[in-house]
Every structure is written in structure tokens, then in C-alpha cells.
Amino acid sequence: MTRLSSFADVQRSAIREMLERALARPDTIRLELGDPDFTTPPHIVEAALRAASEGFTHYTPSVGLPSLREAVADRVRSVNGFACVPDEVVVTTGACGGLYALLRVLADPGDEVLVPDPGWTGYASIAAFVGASARPYALDRDSGFGLDVAAVERALTPHTRAIVVNSPSNPTGSVERREALAALVGLATEHDCWLVSDEAYESFVFDGAHVSAAACADGPVISVFTCSKTYAMTGWRVGYLVAPREVAASAARAQEAVVSSVSSVSQKAAEAALTGPQDAVAEMRAAYRRRLELATSLLDELQVPYVRPAGAFYLLVDVAAAGVDSRTFALALLDEHGVAVVPGSAFGAGAEGLVRVSLCVAEDAISEGLQRLGSALATRAAAGSGRATSARPRSPIARTTTFATRSSAGGSRWAVSLPRARSRRSSASRRRRSARRCSRCAATGCSSSARGGR
């Protein structure tokens, strides 16, 4: 075959790999994907239908519809608490599209992008596809995977062009405090690189409140948002980024080369989502909270350790007692017990020994899936292979954040000069509680239906 470029071999996301394996196995309990099981709220769907039937079916400006950029700027000022004008907004194909367009214009081949470990798999893939290297910085396991600014500083090199921060975090659920984010903004300013703040899960915080990095301090911050999670709109592929005008214009050009513009009907749907009633978001948040409580009570009962999340809709469960690495455990759990989860190793070395459980399914599926997980863990531990890998279960720490109250005046917040192109672990001992079989674990028949195609 005629030669392909070096990008042809970029590794695919381990989340997608698990998804495909799960889909290939009938009746799998699907706890692997971060795709809300809720349908998009009706008023949003209706806005899209109306737009389509009224002939709103053409290309839009590459940066996005003026009315949607206006709606985004309003929301950012009022909800996220930092100054924003429409010229700083680019409507993107989900957060993925925003991050790709951004890294395309922030990093040259050979440059480095610092990414959290554990962190969402997309960062490394996107960095790889723009020819940059994703350099991990360790999150602090002892604080439930909170930000360790000193670890970020240690990871910086003269080649660092951007630091990615993700709060609330996928997969850890940690929610950063204002002080930590402000320190990170300071670090980016000092080292003349960009801080890319991925706030995909901004609407799902259970302990404390979400705070946007850009609301914490003035500095070279670019914020990435999406409608995917907040409004259960993963399939609509619409998100937005907020950046200094020059960066926004460059990112829009990068996006233009790939998609010309985001789907016109999806943009109308997003506008309805941002400007319409927010009750559905509160209902989904309440449902995730209920599912989290259900999952953690069950894991407590099964004596399976986990990291308590403060936000997002995932749960990292400690499977180190199985005595095998997280990928081996996850594959066996799928093949032998019909439950799909994502191995922690997919998110970086820092999550080895853990698996990610998604709370995007109904309570009965969560319950049955975790019962089976507990049973699989108990069986392996009892078989004597339960040598620990590297997970260190601990009491999760709920960290409280306060909501941003910065001026929402319409002016630009980019008071600082834009960066130019340029060049623990604690000794706390492991608190391992061996998994034991629960009386209900014998059941393997599950009534929950497998979700298809996501």
C-alpha cells in the first residue's frame, strides 16, 4: 500500500475500544461511555426542528451564528462569571472540535502540551494529531486527584505551549478550587504559555461549585465548553470556546478547514439550550447525584474502595485487589461478567489499579453492574492473585469552591499581553479493604437493556 503519514498510526481512545467491545457483546451492562442516557430536552429539539423546517439548512459563518455567539457571551458573563464579548467566542463541533482547533493553532509539531494524569483520553489523541507531545502532569492522588500546581510546574519545559486543566474532571470527578486555578493561571502567565480550561462538566458538581479558570485571575486562559453533557446533546456536536480575539479568529480558521461551519440546526438547538429554561439540567444533576449515592452505598456495602467524585458523572473504582492490571481486569469483567467499564490505565499511569464507571445509565444497570464488578473482584482476590497493583484507595476529599463573582461588564478581560511563541506522592499507607462477596452477587441475569450505538 502507498505510504501513509506518521499520523495514521496515532493510537485510538481506549474508551472507544471498550465501547466497540461492549457493542459486540449482546446484553452487556454499559458502564463505559460518558454519554448521558437522557434525551435532549424537548424545547431544544423543537428549536432544531423549527429551524430545519423553516429552511435554516445552510452554512453559517465559520465562527458560528451571531445570535449564538451573543447567547454564549451572555451566559459566560452571567454563569461563568468572567467578561466575554461575542468576538471572543467560536462555536465548535463539541469540545473535541474546539480543543482540536485550539491545539492546531497553539502548538507546532514538537511542542509540548501538558495534560492531567489521570486525564481524559482525548487530550493525548488531539495533541498527537497536531504533532505535539502530550506531557502528563500528575494529579494529587491523596486529595482525590486534585490539582498539584507544583507538579504542573515540574512538568513545564521550554517547549511547553499549553497547559490543559479539566475541572470537573473526567475521569476523577475532582473539582478545582479557585485558589488552585488562580495559581495555575499565574504559572501559565509566568511561563508564557496558554492555559486551556476544559469545562465540559461545568454543570455537574455535587460538592462545592464549579469555578471557571478565567474567572479566577487575569491571564492567558482559553475556556472550552460544550452542550454535549450539560444538555444531553452529545450527538448534536456543538460546543464553544472563549479566547482572545486573535486566537478565536485563528481557531475559527483551523475549524473552517475541517468543517466550514458547525451544523446550522445544531447551532439553533444550542441557542435554545443556552437561552431557554434550565430545569432539565437541574433534573439531570439530581439524577446523577442519586446514581452516585446509589453506587457509593453499594460499593461501601461490598467493601470495594473508590474515589468519591465532587463532580462530573463518573466514579473511579479501585480494583487493585484483583491482582491484575486495570485493562486485564476490565476485559475479564466484560468477557466473563458482561459489564463494560474503562480501565484506569486509559487515563494515564496515575489511574492504574482503578476502573472508570460511568453513571450515564439507569439505576438498575448501575446496581447490577457494580454487583457483578464486586463479585468479579471478590473471586479474583479470593483466588489468591490479589497482589496490589498501584491503586491507593483513600477517603475521598470533597473540596469546596466558591462561585466566581467577577465583573460581568461587557469589555474584554484580556488585559494582559498575549503570550508570544517561544520557545508525591505521599507516604500515606494504602488502606486496602479486600473485596468480599455479597450475598446478592450470585445473580448474573440482568434486566437492564444494553444501549446501542453510543
Ligand X SMILES: Cc1ncc(COP(=O)(O)O)c(C=O)c1O
With CB under 6 A as the contact rule, which of the stretches 71-79, 89-97, 102-110, 148-156 interacts with ligand X?
89-97
Whichever of 93 and 371 has its CB closer to ligand X, that residue is 93
CB of 226 to ligand X, least distance (A): 3
Helix (H, G, I), strand (E, B), or coil: what is residue 234?
A: helix
Binding residue for ligand X, selected from 41, 64, 118, 122, defined by CB under 6 A:
122
Please report whether residue 96 would count as binding ligand X according to CB under 6 A: yes
Whichever of 99 and 365 has its CB closer to ligand X, that residue is 99
Three cell numbers written together for 450: 444494553
Binding residue for ligand X, selected from 40, 51, 72, 120, defined by CB under 6 A:
120
Identify the CA nearest to 271 among candidates 449, 5, 86. Answer: 86
CB of 71 to ligand X, least distance (A): 17
CB of 436 to ligand X, least distance (A): 33
Task: Determine the Cα–Cα distance for residues 315 and 121; give it in Å rounded to an integer.
Answer: 16
Task: Determine the Cα–Cα distance for residues 170 and 308; give it in Å rounded to an integer.
Answer: 13
Q: How many CB atoms lie within 10 A of CB 42?
A: 9
Please report whether residue 174 would count as binding ligand X according to CB under 6 A: no
Amino acid making up residue 373: L
Amino acid making up residue 20: E
Whichever of 206 and 414 has its CB closer to ligand X, that residue is 206
With CB under 6 A as the contact rule, which of the stretches 90-98, 346-354, 368-376, 395-403 interacts with ligand X?
90-98
Please report whether residue 215 would count as binding ligand X according to CB under 6 A: no
Sites for ligand X among residues 218-237 (CB under 6 A): 226, 228, 234
Task: Determine the Cα–Cα distance for residues 371 and 377; give it in Å rounded to an integer.
Answer: 10
Task: Determine the Cα–Cα distance for residues 74 and 336; give it in Å rounded to an integer.
Answer: 50
- Helices 363-380 and 279-302 cross at an angle (nearest 10°) of 30
Please report whether residue 166 would count as binding ligand X according to CB under 6 A: yes
Whichever of 338 and 350 has its CB closer to ligand X, that residue is 350
Whichever of 28 and 234 has its CB closer to ligand X, that residue is 234
Q: Which residue is nearest to ligand X (CB)?
A: 94
Whichever of 91 and 366 has its CB closer to ligand X, that residue is 91
Please report whether residue 200 would count as binding ligand X according to CB under 6 A: yes
Please report whether residue 239 would count as binding ligand X according to CB under 6 A: yes
Three cell numbers written together for 265: 440546526
Whichever of 120 and 204 has its CB closer to ligand X, that residue is 120
CA 155 to chain centre: 21
Three cell numbers written together for 275: 437561552
Its sign, for the CA torsion 407, 408, 409, 411, is: positive
Whichever of 198 and 352 has its CB closer to ligand X, that residue is 198
Residues 6+ apart with CB under 8 A from 172: 118, 139, 144, 145, 307, 309, 314, 316, 351
With CB under 6 A as the contact rule, which of the stretches 92-100, 205-213, 270-278, 341-349 interacts with ligand X?
92-100
Three cell numbers written together for 379: 473471586
CB of 297 to ligand X, least distance (A): 25
**Hunting for cell 462555536 — which residue is that?**
91
Whichever of 166 and 203 has its CB closer to ligand X, that residue is 166
CB of 225 to ligand X, least distance (A): 8
Which CA distances in Å does 220 have to 141, 146, 217, 244, 299?
27, 22, 9, 8, 41
Question: Which helix (DSSP H) or strand (DSSP E) does residue 128 occupy?
Answer: helix 121-129
CB of 303 to ligand X, least distance (A): 29
Please report whether residue 124 would count as binding ligand X according to CB under 6 A: no
Binding residue for ligand X, selected from 40, 133, 167, 170, defined by CB under 6 A:
170
> Quick one: DSSP state of residue 146?
B
Tell me the site size for ligand X, rule CB under 6 A.
14
Query: Would you state the torsion angle of the CA atoms of residues 11, 158, 417, 180, taken in this order, to the nearest 10 degrees?
Result: 70
Whichever of 64 and 122 has its CB closer to ligand X, that residue is 122
Query: How many C-alpha atoms does 224 have within 13 Å on its Cβ side?
Result: 28
**Hunting for cell 496558554 — which residue is that?**
194
CB of 113 to ligand X, least distance (A): 14
- Site residues (vs ligand X, CB under 6 A): 34, 94-96, 120, 122, 166, 170, 198, 200, 226, 228, 234, 239
